[in-house]
Structure 1
Amino acid sequence: MITSALPSDASTTAWALAARAGDTEAFEHLVRALHRDVLRYVSHLCADPQAADDLAQDTFLRAFGSVHRFEGRSSARTWLLSIARRAVIDGFRHAAARPRAYDAGDWELAVERAQPRGVPGFDDGVALLDLLEALPVERREAFVLTQMWGLPYEEVASMCGCPVGTVRSRVARARATLVEMVKAVDLAA
């Protein structure tokens, strides 16, 4: 039996390799160890908390179906986050093909009323999300994964399918843009 309080990339990768060999218990350990990371990642990418659970579940279903192809060339975390990224992209494509209807008259007012107010740090969080949202998608993704989540540049490059230098460039440009936007807000205030 494989156990760990705070599983490392090495132990999660070992569980994935054991699952590849047919050990269903190892796959359960892998899911428990990385579920939170996958859920946070898809929540960030899709910005729809209601869809995040479904996308995380879809990620693990896809992983279960393809674990036999996992070779351990990257960590299991990187492998799962890559699958999660594709699940979110496929979700966007599916949603674009089948738009949802909304029955209420003033949906914008309903959304405004549903937003939390007076929560400590909430306004700063909203401001940060607004600033991040203004970044181009590739730069925002590289910045969030490396600077906020602390993932190594090599893993992010593997997940995004680009060279490490490209990730470094995207992060540097995102930082520069964020600094310019904060300065502009400070000057306007």
Structure 2
Amino acid sequence: MGFSLFRKKTGKEPVPSPVNEGMADKQKKYEALVHALHGDIYRYAYWLCRDPHVAEDLVQETYLRAWRAIDSLVDDKAAKPWLITILRRENARRFERKRFDLIDLDEFPQSDDEALHSEQEMEHEWLRRHIARLPEEYQEPLLLQVIGGFSGEEIAQQLGLNKNTVMTRLFRARNQIREAMASTAQQRGHGNG
């Protein structure tokens, strides 16, 4: 008699197979992971791409890859860095597959309706632009700390760097942002005076 996945109905509860138990455990682990970290993963994806639809796609791809490799996640405490790493790789793949058309922004003036509406939005946009201008070696640790909420040690593990290197890069990134802020404030002062 051969092995069969189907059982005859006998009125008795079927004996759970090890395959089904393993799949159920995998599903529970995955669902717990998604439930606990979805907000953080989406926020980081959004910071990377600045487009809610692309961010959703990145998160979907991240969780798809996470599902496939969930058995490789041994330590639940490493789940967030593990997912962030998957997300960063997915974002990089997006650029490998896509060719960008470059346009000159000066050719497309903004109308008043398209302009940023509040001072806070303008400040956030200014900050995003300056973070985006940072060299990647400074930008990535800063985003992992600010958006991901990771410690210097966790960032070092994710990026494969020494903790002191990460802390130096974070210090330099913040200093560059601070200098840009001071320069902008000084330019505003000269423009008004």
Flag whether TM exceeds 0.5 (same fold): yes
**TM-score of the aligned structures, taking structure 2 as reference length:** 0.73
Give 4+ residue runs of structure 1 displaced > 6 Å after superposition.
Answer: none
Q: Does the residue aligned with 2:161 lie in a helix, a strand or coil?
A: coil
What's the offset of the Cα at 1:101? 11
CA RMSD of aligned residues (A): 3.0
Name the structure 2 match of 1:146: 145
Q: CA contact under 8 A between 2:37 and 2:80: conserved in structure 1?
A: yes
Distance 1:120 1:181, change over 3 A: closer
Gapped regions of structure 2 (runs ≥ 5): 1-21, 189-193
Q: Which has the larger radius of gyration?
A: 2
Name the structure 2 match of 1:14: none
Q: Provide the C-alpha distance between the structure 1 equivalents of 2:119 and 2:177, rounded to a whole number of angstroms.
A: 23
Q: Provide the C-alpha distance between the structure 2 equivalents of 1:158 and 1:188, rounded to a whole number of angstroms.
A: 40
Name the structure 1 match of 2:182: 183
2:80 to 72, 77, 100: 77
Q: CA contact under 8 A between 1:34 and 1:77: conserved in structure 2?
A: yes
Name the structure 2 match of 1:56: 59
Matches within 5 A, 1:1-189: 22-72=25-75, 75-96=78-99, 99=100, 109=108, 112=110, 115=114, 117-119=116-118, 121-189=120-188
Name the structure 2 match of 1:5: none
Q: CA contact under 8 A between 2:26 and 2:70: conserved in structure 1?
A: no
What's the offset of the Cα at 1:150? 2.9
Count of aligned positions:
166
Q: Describe the superposition over 1:157-187 as per-residue Cα deviations: whole angstroms up to 9, x where unpaired.
A: 1222222122111101111211221121122
What's the offset of the Cα at 1:116? 5.8
What's the offset of the Cα at 1:90? 0.8
Name the structure 2 match of 1:8: none
Name the structure 2 match of 1:11: none
Q: CA contact under 8 A between 1:59 and 1:80: conserved in structure 2?
A: yes
Q: CA contact under 8 A between 1:20 and 1:68: conserved in structure 2?
A: no
Q: Provide the C-alpha distance between the structure 1 equivalents of 2:168 and 2:58, rounded to a whole number of angstroms.
A: 29
What's the offset of the Cα at 1:149? 4.2
Gapped regions of structure 1 (runs ≥ 5): 1-18
Aligned residue type for 2:89: R
Q: Provide the C-alpha distance between the structure 2 equivalents of 1:101 and 1:140, rounded to a whole number of angstroms.
A: 23
Q: Does the residue aligned with 1:121 lie in a helix, a strand or coil?
A: helix
Aligned residue type for 1:87: E
